[in-house]
Amino acid sequence: MKEYKEIYVNGSWVSPIGKDVIDVVNPCNEEVIARVTMANEKDVDNAVKSAREAFPAWSKTSVAERSALMTRLSKALAARQDEIGDTIAREMGMPAPLARMIQAGLPIAALDSFVSILNDYQFEYPMGRTTIVKEAIGVCGFITPWNYPLHQIMGKVAPAIAAGCTMVVKPSQIAPLNSYILAEIMDEIGMPPGVFNLVVGAGSNVGHALASHPDVDMVSLTGSTSSGVKVMQAAANTIKRVTLELGGKSPNVLLEDADFSTAVMKGVYGAFLNSGQTCIALSRMIVPADRQKEVAEMAANTVKTMKMGDAFAEGMYLGPMVDGNQQKSVRGYIEAGIREGATLVIGGPEQPEGLDKGYYVKPTVFADVKQEMTIAREEIFGPVLVIMPYKTEEEAIEIANGTVYGLSGSVWSGDIERARRVAKEIRSGQVFVNGGDFDINAPAGGYKQSGIGRERSKYGLEEYLEIKALIGPSV
């Protein structure tokens, strides 16, 4: 078993002042795979100090310099792509082939996308007699989750590097191992000391210390909405910029003229990717009432094609929940669905047959789900799909928007213009139209309680920039 006893601060691996040690557990078999020494608030102080000291020189580097470093970073990540994928498969349970492609592949794609954005970006331009100058915001604190751990880190680190910011990263303590690989690579490629710092620790102390630190200019969290509230409150006293990528309960609207067999199959696969532990999961399928039975049958048949098991076993689509707490929580939701009168189509709260060890949950589909039910309202973050019937297009839109969240969505119709029209009615940051695939170049982020700000694209870069007006004399 590997022990991780150091954090990465000011370009060096150092022993943290914090002394707490936690286990990292493989959720497929409940075995401890690593031990990690956690940082504390004093380590955050040191990391912020190093980021502050590095900021003046780093923020003045040229676009060419930053772009070259980002390209080196991307190549070095690509050289270790399988190792990164397998590490994430072990620490959070996603089947390894998928983890190599998605968990390790997306951060590389995100970096490459930001290299292009950086190379084309106008940091300075005239506006009448004023010159607009876009400058790096300063020292950033990044707090990230375990579900797509490196992808979520890179969603912040790549634009921050591009902008000329320096940063302190606090990854999820549940799946931190990938972040040590990232720090190793930062070291190898010659990232100047202090630009990238890694402090692994708990949210309640290290995360809180970053969010409240007077010398941090911006804090960005990807995580649950409840953590978003705490981070915003902690950041308030120092008026720092806050961006939040939070939870979702995203609708997948099937209009009656859609291709149902494709829409249902794609919808179920999407909802259950990463065993439903995906912020943009389309977890509510909204269907014409008179087609609900047919949809439920198609969904159940799709579920039956999915294999669940160890991340390194052949042909798996579904892995376990990340830990015992998550497993308990998801099972609790399934029990609530049954108790509140939804129709259980397939699945249930029991441990799946043949998987005695590991935090598995049966892929579960409910039908006849009504707006007021717990499973229709709350983010479950597990393999649970709810089918909600509607009678008119207006009602479908009302159900789609009947949530405190607004992260993602989807609309299917035989008529693309109709699908786009309905998509515009959905109050969320992204809407997939007729099965549109994930786009690394598209901005992502939430309306309502799904967050503040955007990641990816030039809008993602601009979160890390201040706008300065150099005002010239009137002529």
Catalog residues that contact ligand NAD under the rule CB under 6 A. 143-148, 152, 170, 172-173, 202-204, 207-208, 211, 221-224, 227, 230-231, 245-248, 279, 379, 381, 407, 446, 451
Q: Which is nearer to ligand NAD, 132 or 232 (CB)?
A: 232
Q: Which is nearer to ligand NAD, 305 or 325 (CB)?
A: 325
Least separation in angstroms between residue 451's CB and ligand NAD is: 6
Question: What strands, in cross-sheet order, belong to the sheet with 2-4?
Answer: 2-4, 31-37, 21-26
CA separation, residue 430 to residues 84, 107, 252 (Å)? 28, 19, 12
Residues 6+ apart with CB under 8 A from 104: 77, 80, 81, 82, 84, 85, 88, 150
Catalytic residue among 6, 279, 455, 462: 279
Q: Which is nearer to ligand NAD, 155 or 193 (CB)?
A: 155
Tell me the Ramachandran region of residue 4: left when phi exceeds 0, alpha when psi lies from -120 to 50, beta otherwise: beta
Q: Which is nearer to ligand NAD, 207 or 358 (CB)?
A: 207
Q: Which is nearer to ligand NAD, 203 or 319 (CB)?
A: 203
- Helical residues (DSSP H) of 121-248, grouped into ranges: 149-163, 177-189, 208-212, 225-236
Are 410 and 267 a contacting pair, CB within 8 Å?
yes
Instruction: Pull the structure tokens for residue 194.
Output: 């202090």
Instruction: Pull the structure tokens for residue 129.
Output: 């007699």
Least separation in angstroms between residue 308's CB and ligand NAD is: 20
Catalytic residue among 6, 245, 462, 463: 245
Least separation in angstroms between residue 255's CB and ligand NAD is: 26
Least separation in angstroms between residue 62's CB and ligand NAD is: 31
Report the 10 Å Cβ neighbour count for 241.
Answer: 18
Strands 284-288 vs 251-254: parallel, antiparallel or unpaired: parallel
DSSP 273-341: GGGG--TT---EEEEEGGGHHHHHHHHHHHHHT--B--TTSTT--B---SSHHHHHHHHHHHHHHHHTT
Q: Which is nearer to ligand NAD, 113 or 222 (CB)?
A: 222
* Residue 279 is a catalytic residue: yes
Least separation in angstroms between residue 293's CB and ligand NAD is: 31
Are 197 and 167 a contacting pair, CB within 8 Å?
yes
CA distance 62 to 304: 54
CA distance 78 to 108: 7
Reduce the DSSP state of residue 83 to 3 states and report it. Answer: helix
* Residue 245 is a catalytic residue: yes
Catalytic residue numbers, as ranges: 245, 279
